[in-house]
Amino acid sequence: MSERTSAPAVGASTFEVLRDALKTSTPVVSARVVRGAPLGARLVVLLNSVTGTLGDAALDQLIVRDALHLLSEERSETRTYAGQHGEVAVFLETFPPPPLLLIFGAVHVAQALTRFAKALGFAVIVTDARATLATRERFPEADDIIQA
């Protein structure tokens, strides 16, 4: 599993940053104003960077702090803040990385387990020393296959 560690590209939109984070299973929070002004404004918070603004630097700082806290707890919620232009409600939607399942032994039971785990949203790594068993053909759903 690769985790994104570099900052988003300069000038990247909040949508692009969120899309890229989700694509690479990078922990991310999308904070969007759902009541108050500026309605619909979005801030995307990664562990090492922030993209976008809600139009109020002090509010942005509060949102980033709360977003990182919620991400550590793997939960989403709507919070109300006092902003420059009055009260705003912000939905902080967290996208933690998927849980990881390591499967040792590329046997027939591991094939079924891989399919079930992927259907449940797990990232799956299969490992086996036997090169004839630990193959992409036998485990097409696995995120990674290690022959060790």
C-alpha distances in Å from residue 138, one per residue of 99, 123, 145, 148: 22, 17, 10, 16
- In the 8-state DSSP scheme, what is residue 121? T
- In the 8-state DSSP scheme, what is residue 48? S
Q: What is the pLDDT of residues 102-141, one digit of tens each?
A: 999 999 999 999 999 999 999 999 999 999 999 999 999 9
At 72, give phi and psi (nearest 5°). -65, -25
Q: What is the pLDDT of residues 56-75, one digit of tens each?
A: 899 999 999 999 999 999 99
C-alpha distances in Å from residue 58, one per residue of 24, 37, 78, 81, 140: 30, 15, 18, 11, 47
For residues 50 and 67, is the Cβ–Cβ distance under 8 A?
Answer: no
What pLDDT is attached to residue 2? 39
Q: What residue ranges do the domains of the chain occupy?
A: 14-95, 100-147
Pick the closest to residue 53 from 38, 67, 66 (CA basis): 38
3-state secondary structure of 102: strand
Please give the model's pTM, rounded to 2 decimal places: 0.71
Ordered alpha helix ranges (H), the chain: 14-23, 57-73, 108-119
Band (pLDDT 50/70/90 cuts) for residue 25 is: confident
C-alpha distances in Å from residue 18, one per residue of 26, 27, 50, 127: 9, 10, 11, 31
How many angstroms separate the CA atoms of 90 and 35, rounded? 7
